[in-house]
Structure 1
Amino acid sequence: MTSYTATVSRRLPRGWAHLALQLAFWMGFYVAYQIVRGLADRDIATAFWNGFHVIRLEQWMGALFEPALQRLVDSSELLIKATSYTYWLSQFAVVALALLWVYVRHHDRFFGFRNWLIAANLVGLAVYALVPTAPPRMFPEWGFVDTLARYSSINHESGLIAYASNPYAAMPSLHSMDAFIVGVVMFGVCRSRLARTLWLVWPAWVWFSVIGTGNHYWLDVVAGVLLAVAAGVGLFRRELFSRWRTASRA
């Protein structure tokens, strides 16, 4: 064992085996995601019908503002690049790094963080299977633009992305949901005022990015945030009930 490996091992709160187990949780989630993708791909007509209804609902509410927001993004090369990178990196890379950082630096908060993400994502996957929804980028006749396909060298049709991503997973927005959970947890564990401010702003920036690239409706974002809140409240109440039962038996 090298000195570097030994140092890292000492820093891991419960060793390499426990860390590998946590990685296995996320591999299981990825497998579940692929199964749901297969289900959604077989019901494309329903996905487009559901997407159309989301558009009509927003129109009825007088709040179909996404095309205007997209025009703002498309007017700036900086915004195009920033929102595109945010879309690709926010859900998996940022979530994974945040989980790893909390695991190592604030281990007592890790399990609540992990469970919140898993619970919310599993419910989100169930909704995808039951209610597949085509994203706004698939409705150019309504003024939506597929920003990634138009301006980026990497888009939903690129290589492994075309295989791994679910093209009919607009409602709810897991990007927005995960960003909210990560932002809340990281705001709570960070001590630097700058870091806390950045994590407080992070969810709003992700929401702007997923809408601005034509990948989600604003109602998807709202649904994702509500799902995150509901999952968090459910887990918190379960934990309180568990503590009460333990105390009552003492």
Structure 2
Amino acid sequence: MSTQLEGPRPAAARAVIRAVSELVLIAVLFCLYKLGRSLITGQEQEALQHGDLVRRLEAVLRLPSEAAIQAAVHSEPLFRVANVYYTSVHFPLMALFLLWGFLLRPRAEYLWARNLVILQTGAALVIHMLFPLAPPRMFPSWGFLDTMARYGPSPYDGASADLANQFAAMPSLHVGWAVLIAYVVARTGPRWLAVCAALHAALTTFIVVVTANHWWLDAVAGVLLLVAADAVLRRTHRGGT
């Protein structure tokens, strides 16, 4: 009788240990990422030069002008809402996504998604260090409006300014994470949630452009890092079988 009562306890203990381990891992990785971004300093001139390079490359590729799109949809209420979405949804939604995966999806699916996030984000940090890039909003002479500075809110004001790196535009993890969430949910989640995730990815891409926080190529780079991370995990899985 005693054995039957105590049987579930080891399983419950293992579940708690796994949950705590995941929380610690994610917290450590998040802190390392924020620390890495904050330590990248003294890059303003290089970042501005890279901005000119990206603008020229986009012109060669005949990508739509971000400044023209921003001017076409110019609206103070829209900019304010877009700024709130940009500053408020990014990290909380990723935390919610990982929590959903840990609690409600099979462990193998969760680990795959978590590892995608780790690989994509780690690669993005390396690029941030090697290729500092000023966002479009820093080039008013090219017709860009800094909607966060003009209308708020801005993550670059107040206490958060000390931890923010404004020259980490390439790649866009706002877009990269949003597309990652949409990709994982499309493969592993219910259809209605996949539709919501896809809409979030599309809306995020629109918002980073209309607020002049990212270039088109930043968004492309974020998605390409996801493709590369997925390829690495697929190859690793095949190598382990």
Same fold (TM over 0.5): yes
Matched, 1:213 2:211: yes
Retained in 2: the 8 A contact 1:90–1:179?
Answer: no
Superposition misfits of 4+ residues, deviation over 4 angstroms: none
TM-aligned CA distance change 1:139 to 1:19, over 3 Å: same
Retained in 2: the 8 A contact 1:90–1:175?
Answer: no
Q: Which residue of 2 aligns with 1:164?
A: 163
Residue pairs, 1:132-171, within 5 angstroms: 132-152=132-152, 154-171=153-170
Shift of 1:13: 9.8
Retained in 2: the 8 A contact 1:33–1:125?
Answer: yes
TM-aligned CA distance change 1:30 to 1:190, over 3 Å: closer
Range with greater deviation from structure 2 (111-120 or 101-110): 101-110
Residue pairs, 1:41-120, within 5 angstroms: 41-75=41-75, 77=77, 79-108=78-107, 109-120=109-120
TM-aligned CA distance change 1:217 to 1:211, over 3 Å: same
Retained in 2: the 8 A contact 1:90–1:206?
Answer: no
In structure 2, what is the Cα distance between the partners aligned to 1:233 and 1:19? 27
Identity %: 34
CA RMSD of aligned residues (A): 2.1
Residue type at the aligned position of 1:144: F
Matched, 1:226 2:218: no
Retained in 1: the 8 A contact 2:38–2:163?
Answer: no
TM-aligned CA distance change 1:64 to 1:119, over 3 Å: same
- Segments of 5+ residues of structure 1 without an aligned counterpart are 1-11, 244-250
In structure 2, what is the Cα distance between the partners aligned to 1:194 and 1:30? 29
- Segments of 5+ residues of structure 2 without an aligned counterpart are 1-11
**Partner deviation per Cα, 1:13-68 (whole Å, 9 max, x = no partner):** 95333222212222222332234324432222111111111112122333251012
In structure 2, what is the Cα distance between the partners aligned to 1:204 and 1:102? 22
TM-score, normalisation: structure 2: 0.87
Residue pairs, 1:176-187, within 5 angstroms: 176-187=175-186
Q: Which residue of 1 aligns with 2:128?
A: 128
**Partner deviation per Cα, 1:66-121 (whole Å, 9 max, x = no partner):** 012212443262x3244223212342110100110111000321110100000110
In structure 2, what is the Cα distance between the partners aligned to 1:121 and 1:159? 25
Number of aligned residue pairs: give it. Answer: 230
Range with greater deviation from structure 2 (154-163 or 34-43): 34-43
